[in-house]
Chain A
Amino acid sequence: MGLLSKKDAKLITDPLADNNPITIQVLGICSALAITAQLKASIVMAISVMAVLGIGNVVISLMRNIIPSKIRIIVQLVVVAALVIIVDQVLKAFSYELSKTLSVFVGLIITNCIIMGRFEAFALGNGPWKSFLDGIGNAAGYGLILVIVGFFRELLGSGTLLGFKVLGDPIEKTGLYAIGYENNGFMLLSPMALIVVGIIIWVQRSRNKALIEDH
């Protein structure tokens, strides 16, 4: 890591595991779960949040000394809303189908708690470069969980990954389907997203006992 000092690198790697925004800080769950039935939608959502959080953190960090603390929530909301409008318009222009699938959830990035949480907890007290790294790191931690959930839900639910039929064709009975494998349609229903995240939390906390809560 010639480019980053150890401290800076930690800003990126920490949120990936031990301080993950979704499983540890409990932020940003709202928009995370509803769109993870397909891997592609999860990846696009993760990239959108990364763009908004990275840029937003820098903007807030640059303005941190001139924002009156009483109206800082509104200022933050306006900054995020402006960035999200850009993301939304880009999505509509380049991938209209996908923006239909994500429907209101792109707009809901505005109230994604990760974004407000990082603005409040980090960008208001740190310089732009550090804030940028923190934003990218947290968005990556969020994206990681999204991609894991999306991977399992799409693989077990429809037998595809990014639309490719990795397990064979269910109608022509090729691949795994030839020996009687069936897709689990239940994985596509929204409640399963919650349960998959619950299992991820279970695995993570079993491996790292320090994270266990007492009720």
Chain B
Amino acid sequence: MEHLELFLKSIFIDNMVFATFLGMCSYLAVSKKVSTAVGLGAAVIFVLAVTVPVNWLLDQYILQPGALKWLGEDYAAYDLSFLSFILFIATIATMVQLVEIVVEKFSPSLYNSLGIFLPLIAVNCAILGGSLFMQSREIPTIGLATVYGIGSGIGWFLAILAIAAIREKIRYSNVPPALRGLGITFIITGLMAIGFMSFGGMLTGGDDEAKKEEKTASVKEETRSNDQVALNAAETAKEELANNTNN
């Protein structure tokens, strides 16, 4: 249950693109055609699913304050968390390289479709962002970390797929010249992000609300303070809608 909840939460509520704006650069640059967008999206899911659990292990056994206890009591006092950026990015760069080699060896056809995107991914903010959020939200087990990685990857995939499809269609629309290309993409993404905000209430309804609140309290604290504002806005919007339909 916990896994499913985190999975849905990371796809819809904390969507990488629409809620936290991660991976925007490649999202904007590679979304002109659906086929390339699918390739990059698949590569992102793959790399996130690998790097988040690996970085979780690094975080638990090397970086956290007191994580070096397994080496002996003398090491328990060390706090290496300031090294996390450099260690995470090194893991990501090597994992991407490793994935590239493995994929090339075992599935040349997959390599041909994903290969060109893999180097791009090492510098995709969504990948590092996944690991950093995993750290700051203190995800408790490696299973949940894997689920979080896959979920955020799928969220990113959905986002780039949607915008690529819209951009293919919008070519036939009469957009004001100065907004063509980048400008309209920004505005559409903004509108889609507003749409995704309505998922915000998805996991807070029901009878066991109070219990869940408790469980996710620590997670929530770390997320943007915007969350509450977003929820309030969503609620008022709902009320207004209800009023309108009544009238």
Point out residues on A near B: beta carbons under 8 Å. 23, 26-34, 37, 73-74, 77-78, 81-82, 84-85, 88-89, 103-104, 107-108, 110-113, 116, 185-186, 188-195, 197-199, 201-202, 205-206, 209, 212-215
Contact = CB atoms under 8 A, between A and B. Distances in A.
B176 interface: yes
Given A31-B125, A81-B85, A116-B123, A108 B22 contact: yes
Given A202-B178, A213-B181, A192 B190 contact: yes
A191 B25 contact: no
Contacts of A103: 136, 222, 224
A179 B94 CA distance: 60
B186 interface: yes
B83 interface: yes
Interface string B68-100: 000000000000001111100110011000000
B50 interface: no
Interface string B17-41: 0111111110011000000000000
Contact of B186 (A28, A31, A195): A195
B103 to A, nearest CB: 18
28 contacts: A30-B21, A30-B22, A32-B21, A73-B123, A77-B123, A81-B86, A81-B89, A81-B90, A111-B124, A111-B125, A111-B128, A113-B123, A185-B229, A188-B229, A189-B226, A190-B21, A191-B197, A194-B21, A194-B190, A195-B186, A195-B187, A198-B184, A199-B187, A202-B178, A205-B183, A209-B178, A214-B180, A214-B181
Contact of A201 (B183, B189, B229): B183
Contact of A194 (B29, B85, B186, B232): B186
Given A30-B21, A73-B93, A191-B197, A202 B176 contact: yes
Contacts of A82: 86
Contacts of A188: 226, 229
Contacts, number: 161
Contacts of B94: 74
A108 B132 contact: yes
Interface residues of B, number: 58
A195 B182 contact: no
Interface in B163-214: 170-171, 175-184, 186-187, 189-191, 193-194, 197
A37 B224 CA distance: 11
B182 A189 contact: no
Contacts of B90: 74, 77-78, 81
Contacts of B129: 30, 104, 108, 111
B133 interface: yes
A194 B193 CA distance: 9
Interface in B209-229: 222, 224, 226, 229
A186 B191 CA distance: 12
Contact of B28 (A29, A107, A185, A195): A29
Given A28-B25, A197-B186, A108 B128 contact: yes
Given A77-B122, A202-B183, A215-B171, A110 B28 contact: no
A52 to B, nearest CB: 12
B199 to A, nearest CB: 13
A78 B193 contact: no
Nearest to A204: B178
Nearest to A24: B182
A212 B125 contact: no
A107 B128 contact: yes
Contacts of B21: 29-34, 190, 193-194
Scoring B129, B170, B184 by chain A CB atoms within 10 A of each residue's CB, the highest score goes to: B129
B110 interface: no
A116 to B, nearest CB: 5
Nearest to A85: B85
